[in-house]
Structure 1
Amino acid sequence: MLHFLTKILFLTLLIFIYCEFIIYYFVLLGCSWSQLSKLDQDFTISSPKDPSKKPLHVMLIADTHLLSSYEGHWFNKLRRDWQMYRSFQSAIFLFEPHIIFFLGDLTNTGQWYSDKEWNKTIQRFHSLFSVSSNIRLYVLAGNHDIGFHFDVTDKNLKRFEQTFQTPHVRLLTIDDDNIHFVLINSIAFEGDQCRLCERADHELNTIINELSQTDILTKPVLLSHFPLYRSSDANCSRQSLTTLKSTSQYPTHKERYDVLSQEATKHLLTTIKPRLVFTAHTHRYCYTEHNNKDGKIIPEWTVPSFSWQNRDDPSFMLLSITTNNQRVSHCYLPRETTIFWSYAIGGFLLTFYILFGGRRPFYLVACCFLRKMFKI
């Protein structure tokens, strides 16, 4: 009897370990850093001085929406935190990125948090998404962190900037690779001449001057929480349309709420002249393209939410980039429904094992069940 109970405990532990640890590695192993192709190379820009130098590896994550201590059930919050922690740490172990960008909405309702609640949530953020000292981590502001443009307070803005050392516009240059990233607080690009927007315009002009004075012709990568203007997601790539039956089911985007305004989008594209753009906010994947005044195509990827609170199939992006080449990978995390069915199937088989004790009837029923499930 003791031997039988030991087996049951061991099998239960195996099911738990698979569903809470191993499945994350299994799913993430289906993704990898994309190999660069000469077909995508920009020959107007000189190649890296050292041809053997590996590309810069960048991970992009969006909309984690960490719940506060008073939001939702405690188990739901614990579950979401564990899922993101396990996914993130598994991804760091497998992919070893050089830089990680969080594209805003770290918190769920951070604009309404007290200072005490804010500090507690940020401590959780650093605990869940802890990295080694050789990995750089940068954060953008989202509307759930500081509020939309119409309700941003000086206190919330200052609190976020002091927490993550983030100005409205920031130029990040990787000196060894001569690769530029421009990080913007998209909530400050309303164009209504408020002090928020005036400061953002001033910082943007300063960075544009810096870029124009550099000897490197590399165009920057633009990072924003709000997507650039698009009327809806109907024209996104086919991959982003799989969740809906027709493009007519996509609602029209509201400027300055769902996406940046047309004026702000045009201003950013013509002044920064980015080589590619990464955005967030919608919680859905989207690949779209913009044309600048020179007629060149600027690709934009909208990164889906990283939280199961918002999606059954959260995901993130991997960017391999050099001075004149880049490739993007879209990496999925385990579906929550997959984890649920893994527990259900494991529990089903374990129940039959308990009932039949490993005898032949259990073997026959289990085989029949698996054949029907997987159509063997």
Structure 2
Amino acid sequence: MKEHESEFTNVMILADTHLLGDLFDEGQWADDQQFDIYANRFDQLFYVPETTQRYVVVGNHDVGFHYALMPHHLDRFSRRFNIDPTVEYVNIGGNHFIIVNSMAMEKDGCKLCHQAEETIKTLKDKFDCALSEECEEKLSGGYSRPILMQHFPLFRKNDEVCEFETDLAPSSLRSEIFREKWECISKESTDFLIKSLRPRVVFGGHSHYTCSKFWEAPYNFWEYTISSFSWRNNRWPSFLLLKVSPKQLKVQKCHLPHEHTVIWIYALATLLSISLSINKDFLNVEFVKKLFCHTGIRL
């Protein structure tokens, strides 16, 4: 995985990097010392140069599902990775990114959810205002529909709605019904987000498998669920390259090598090394024999 990330950051050196949650397996249960160990390991694996800005989205494995989310766990994660605990707005080259904590989309009236909803309403007002010539508070770079990033996918029935791709969930899993607030955010929260923000594209993760879904009129945007970056969760891990301007957006999927491919490469490399070593030793013996025979020394 470290080798993959090294190649990944080499490709992305001129861009900004967004990681869509579940940085850890056991962030919910880790004490502060364990959390620091996990975070340091993550920083080592997903190192980016100073010229690249890294944005992290919080996932349920980082702090827990909504019902188990402890304020301290969310606070330490937010402080460590310098992100807002609920909703964050980022402007990159005049492109508007909105990063949402999926666990704050429960809409149950709790303090965390209320704060997230109020921030989204404030952002909605700013985007609506930017469409008006009379708006006094202009958005940097002008108006363009925002790019929404979160850990959970938007509401969908299951993965049968996804466009066909080679790295979809196994056919036996695609028909399994998604539970709201577990495999995806609720329909109510989905409606709230897309009606408030009118995104031009949505990125999420969580399900471990890829999914591309087009939301038709009146919304008109693509939603991309990105597969897990780990072989443990998915035999076909991948990441997305995003080329974006206020008027254009292009997405390219990049697959990591299949785990079996890497195993075969290591196996063949090992056999080749052994073979070369044996041949080298054999040639060395023959060379020594010739050398001593020509000099008249008996072996």
TM-score, normalised via structure 2 length: 0.84
Give the aligned partner of residue 103 of structure 1: 20
The residue type paired with residue 187 of structure 1 is M
Query: Residues of 2 paired with 1:309 and 1:129: CA distance?
Result: 17
Contact in 1 for aligned 2:63/2:73 (Cα 8 Å) = yes
Q: Which residue of 2 is the match for residue 144 of structure 1?
A: 61
Summarize deviations over 1:288-330 as a string: whole Å, max 9, x none. 02235xx242110001111122122211000011111111000
The alignment-based identity, stated in percent, is: 31
Q: For the pair shown, which has the larger CA radius of gyration, 1 or 2?
A: 2
Distance 2:96 2:207 in 1: 25
Shift of the alpha carbon at 1:226? 0.2
Alignment of 1:213-292 (within 5 A): 213-214=129-130, 215=138, 216-239=142-165, 244=170, 246=171, 249-291=174-216
Q: The residue matched to 1:204 in structure 2 has which SS?
A: helix
After TM superposition, give the deviation of residue 131 of structure 1 in Å: 1.5
SS for the counterpart of 1:207 is helix
1:171 maps onto 2:96 in alignment? no
Q: How does 1:14-29 map to 2 (within 5 A)?
A: none
Q: Give the deviation of 1:265 after TM superposition.
A: 0.5
Amino acid at match of 1:269: I
- Does residue 197 of the first structure (1) align with residue 120 of the second (2)? no
Task: Note if contact 2:237-2:255 (Cα within 8 Å) is conserved in structure 1.
Answer: yes
1:121 aligns to what? 38
After superposition, what is the alpha-carbon deviation per residue over 1:34-84, rounded to whole angstroms, capped at 9, x for unaligned?
A: xxxxxxxxxxxxxxxxxxxxxxxxxxxxxxxxxxxxxxxxxxxxxxxxx2x
Provide the C-alpha distance between the structure 1 equivalents of 2:258 and 2:173, rounded to a whole number of angstroms.
Answer: 26
String of CA shifts for 1:117-138, please: whole Å, max 9, x gaps.
1011111111221212111111
User: Match of 2:239, as an amino acid?
Assistant: F
Amino acid at match of 1:291: E
State the distance in 2 between where 1:299 and 1:262 align: 17
Alignment partner, residue 3 of structure 2 = 86
Amino acid of the structure 1 residue aligned with 2:34 = E
- CA 1:94/1:250 → structure 2, altered by over 3 Å: closer, same or farther? same
Q: Say if 1:219 and 1:342 are closer, same or farther in 2 by CA, change over 3 A.
A: same
Residues 247, 276 of structure 1: CA spacing in aligned structure 2 closer, same or farther, 3 A cutoff?
Answer: farther
Q: Which amino acid aligns with 2:261?
A: T
Cα distance in 2 for partners of 1:94, 1:143 equals 28
Q: CA deviation at 1:205?
A: 1.5
Partner of 2:133: none
How far apart in 1 are the matches of 2:119 and 2:20?
19
Cα distance, 1:154–1:296 mapped onto 2, change above 3 Å: closer
Q: Of residues 127, 136, 139 in structure 2, which corresponds to 1:211?
A: 127
Which AA in structure 1 matches 2:211? Answer: C
Q: CA contact under 8 A between 1:283 and 1:303: conserved in structure 2?
A: yes
Partner of 1:37: none
- Report if aligned partners of 2:107, 2:189 keep a CA contact under 8 Å in 1: yes
CA distance in structure 1 between the partners assigned to 2:57 and 2:129 by the alignment? 26
1:163 deviates by 1.4
In 1, the alpha carbon distance for the partners of 2:239 and 2:25 equals 18
Q: Given that residues 215 and 221 in structure 2 are in contact (C-alpha distance below 8 angstroms), is that contact kept between their aligned partners in structure 1?
A: yes
* Match of residue 135 from structure 1: 52
Equivalent residue letter for 2:227:
P
- Pairwise CA distance, 1:249: 4.8
SS in 1 for 2:18: strand
- Evaluate the alpha carbon distance shift between residue 249 and residue 120 of structure 1 in structure 2; reply closer, same or farther with a 3 A threshold: closer
- 1:332-351 map, 5 Å: 332-351=255-274
**Does 2:224 match 1:322?**
no
Q: In structure 2, what is the equivalent of residue 10 of structure 1?
A: none
Q: Tell which deviates more after alignment, 214-223 or 297-306.
A: 214-223
Deviations 1:177-207 (A, max 9, x none): 3110000001100111111111111111222
Cα 1:94–1:153, aligned 2, differ >3 Å: closer, same or farther?
A: closer
Could you tell me whether the CA contact under 8 Å between 2:198 and 2:219 is conserved in 1? no
Question: Is the 8 Å Cα contact of residues 194 and 219 (structure 2) preserved in structure 1?
Answer: no
Q: State the secondary structure of the residue aligned to 1:218.
A: coil
Does 1 or 2 have the higher relative contact order (CA < 8 Å, sep 6+)?
1
Q: How many pairs does the alignment contain?
A: 271
- The structure-2 alpha-carbon separation of the partners of 1:357 and 1:134, relative to structure 1 and needing over 3 Å to count, comes to closer
1:111 & 1:325 partners in 2: Cα distance? 38
Counterpart amino acid of 2:184?
V
The answer (yes or no) to whether the contact 1:227–1:259 under 8 Å persists in 2 is yes
